[in-house]
Amino acid sequence: MSHKLLLGKEIGAPIRAAVADRVARLQDIGWQPTLASLQIGDNQAAQIYIRNQRRACDSVGITFAEHTYPADITQNEMLAAIHAINVNPHITGIILQRPVPRHLDLERLQYAISPSKDVEGMHPANIGKIVYGDFEMGP
């Protein structure tokens, strides 16, 4: 068995450049891509991921919108919040930070995110596309 060392910066640089170019072209026609980050509760470990996501977005010109909800939010309240973001035409992508509080059904929350705004590919429709080799999903 052979091993191959993956160098993230080398692999990521051309991807980031291509994304930045596409974002610039979208901005030229008046469309500003925006990623909504949804965090439920105060999870310090998730804050590291959120900070890195914000930096990545900033580096390519994507607006990063952080939405924080109380840890005791109900399932229905969170589903309503996701719905509001789904129908917001200014939000082009959604990422649900994990973990979520135990009283919430993560699968239902993930399912509530519009497949076209699901940047992680966790919606069942997007997982199915991945299984069948269709990687052209999301906004």
Mean pLDDT of residues grouped by 10 in the chain (139 residues)?
Answer: 82 93 96 98 93 97 98 99 98 96 96 93 75 65
What is this structure's pTM?
A: 0.86
Residue 70 is predicted with a pLDDT of 98
The C-alpha torsion from 9 through 47 and 19 to 91, rounded to 10°, is 170
Alpha-carbon torsion (12, 90, 48, 24), positive or negative: positive
Residue 16 is predicted with a pLDDT of 94
At the top level of CATH, which class does the domain 31-131 belong to? Answer: alpha beta
Residue 84 is predicted with a pLDDT of 99
Q: Where are the domains of the chain?
A: 31-131
* Dist. CA 89–CA 44, nearest whole Å: 30
The C-alpha torsion from 99 through 105 and 108 to 110, rounded to 10°, is 0
Residue 60 is predicted with a pLDDT of 98
